[in-house]
Amino acid sequence: GQQVMQIPQYQHVQEGEDFTTYCNSSTTLSNIQWYKQRPGGHPVFLIQLVKSGEVKKQKRLTFQFGEAKKNSSLHITATQTTDVGTYFCAGPKRSGGGADGLTFGKGTHLIIQP
């Protein structure tokens, strides 16, 4: 079945350093979504990418969708303590429509040292 893999599993950074997490799918995706989960919290939607090669920015966060629509990345510039949490990528199991739910990666846990 479809697999979504994320690396690294854990990332320790000093506050102010940059951070990148990578996501790879075993199948071509119609879209990819990113979620953030704070410790003890629930996943919160960050963004959805749909087009091949798409790049979107949200303040210090930059999201990319690969040309083959099988990989994606999230880059955070100049991390802050508020960025702490686990970042998940997720893709639909089929071509879209959502009926088969999303396949989530295992997430990258971002730990920031002040």
- Asked if 71 interacts with other proteins (CB under 8 A), we say no
Using CB under 8 A as the binding rule, whether residue 39 contacts other proteins is answered as: no
For residue 43, the 8-state DSSP code is -
The backbone region for 95, taken as left when phi is positive above 0, alpha when psi lies in -120 to 50, beta otherwise, is alpha
Compute the distance between CA of residue 98 and CA of residue 92 in angstroms, rounded to an integer.
Answer: 6
Q: Residue 16 Cβ, how far from other proteins at the closest point, in Å?
A: 27
| Interface size with other proteins, residues (CB under 8 A) | 26
| C-beta closer to other proteins: residue 44 or 78 | 44
Kindly state whether residue 41 participates in binding other proteins, applying the rule CB under 8 A. Answer: yes
Are residues 107 and 41 in contact, defined by beta-carbon separation less than 8 angstroms? no
Binding site for other proteins (CB under 8 A): 1, 4, 31, 33, 35, 41-45, 48, 88, 90, 92-93, 96, 98-107
